[in-house]
Structure 1
Amino acid sequence: MGGVGQGCVFCEIVEGERGAHLVMDMPDVVAFLDTRPLFKGHTLLVPRVHYETLMDLPGEFLGPFFERAQRIAGAMESVLGAAGSFVAMNNRVSQSVPHLHVHVVPRNRKDGLRGFFWPRQKYESDEEAADYAARLSAEVGG
């Protein structure tokens, strides 16, 4: 499933066909500033190979990929002076570009960003929560 995505904006950045402010340029990943940042320094980390979602990313690349995200999150604090960071990924829903990418956003207390951007829900009962947990656990082998 990996390769170069036809008409993919992120593949164009990876290939050098589209300009971007690069933060990391390594054999396996490229990271660049988001053009519409939540806060200055908001960085997108993408694999060089076109994978659409987290489920498409080969298992052996998970550790190295997230090690790169960890390094960027650390730089948010050490270089930008942020108190912390927000690290997030969408899969299909709300994924504006269908190329796997991780958002690493510098955060500070009282910066105006309030948790998640959607309303929270409650389970109807402990039994309903247990049912969801059991179904997911059966699938992931946990």
Structure 2
Amino acid sequence: MPIDATQPYDDSNVFAKILRGEIPSRTVYEDDFALAFHDIAPQAPTHILVIPKGAYVSWDDFAAKAGDAEIAGFVRAVGHVARAAGLVEPGYRLLANIGGHGHQEVPHLHVHIFAGRPLGPMLAG
């Protein structure tokens, strides 16, 4: 169910639990600013999620509240994960769903990395 991206951060969300080690994940990368892991319901042959370690509901929340080092670290982590997975060539797609119209389902900022096949048009429907 899509969420309201303006709501306060809920530390009982699944990604907060993963960050605390309460739920296991197939981690592919971790540093001081981000955690990356395989999606449990992949939508492409490669489907990795990258989340900031801070408590941010949405991109807007992150941009407004995170420090410069945290923002740079998160963006660099996304790039590092894509390069390390060998996705730069032939290519990949980044997706961040924000709020109800964007169909965000987990109230913790996250970026999807999709790859492994031609992904088709940018938007469906």
So what's the TM-score if we normalise by structure 1? Answer: 0.69
Q: Structure 1: how far apart are the matches of 2:85 and 2:89? A: 6
How far did 1:30 drift?
0.8
- TM-score, normalization: structure 2? 0.78
- What is the alpha-carbon distance in structure 2 between the residues aligned to residue 76 and residue 5 of structure 1? 31
Q: Is the 8 A contact 1:86 1:107 kept in 2?
A: no
Alignment-derived partner of residue 118 in structure 1: 124
Structure 1 residue ranges without an equivalent (≥5): 120-142
Return the offset for 1:89: 0.6
Equivalent residue pairs, number = 112
Larger RCO (alpha carbons 8 Å, 6+ apart): 2
More helix by share: 1
State the alpha-carbon separation in 1 of the partners of residues 89 and 24 from structure 2. 26
Residues 15-37 of structure 1: CA deviation (Å, up to 9, x unaligned): 10001101112222111110111
Report the structure number with the largest CA radius of gyration. Answer: 1
- List runs of 5+ in structure 2 lacking aligned partners: 1-8
The one-letter code sitting in structure 2 at the alignment partner of 1:11 is A
Segments of 4+ moved more than 3 angstroms: none
Aligned CA distance change for structure 1 residues 21 and 82 (closer, same or farther; 3 Å): farther
User: How far 1:118 sits from its partner (Å)?
Assistant: 2.9
Aligned-residue offset at 1:108: 3.0
User: Do structure 1's residue 62 and structure 2's residue 68 form an aligned pair?
Assistant: no
Give 2:95's match in structure 1, choosing from 79, 88, 101: 88
Deviation readout 1:94-130 (Å, 9 max, x if unpaired): 1110100000111433xxx3222334xxxxxxxxxxx
Partner residue, 2:3: none
